[in-house]
Structure 1
Amino acid sequence: MFWKFRQVGGAVWQYLNQPLFSEPQIAVWKPRRFWYSYKIEHLEHCWRKSASESHSSP
């Protein structure tokens, strides 16, 4: 339960602190769309992390 609260809290923090007028990163105004992209980015991050850990182990 705490993990879900922490995950949602991190997403809300990133949503509120996203750059508004940045060229490389476009601000997402719709919370559902932001949540969808946040979940995809989180899964990609976990996938890269697990792939790098598997390559570093002997």
Structure 2
Amino acid sequence: MCKHETNVLIADKPEAFAHALINVLNSTTMANLLAQNARQTILDHYSWESKMEPFIKTLKQ
């Protein structure tokens, strides 16, 4: 679901996170792609609609 530099920035150490963040700040293309992918991840996996869909399907059965 979450993938480094695809829809989130992940690092084990502060220096690694700082480096990843600097890369995003220096690349408008990467920043836009990261933002679009992060938003889609939220809509697909964490939105009200995505969480209610299985529940509604169960109720209709």
The bucket for the TM-score relative to the shorter chain is: 0.3 to 0.5
What TM-score does the superposition give when structure 1 sets the normalisation length? 0.46
What TM-score does the superposition give when structure 2 sets the normalisation length? 0.45
Greater Rg, structure 1 or structure 2?
2
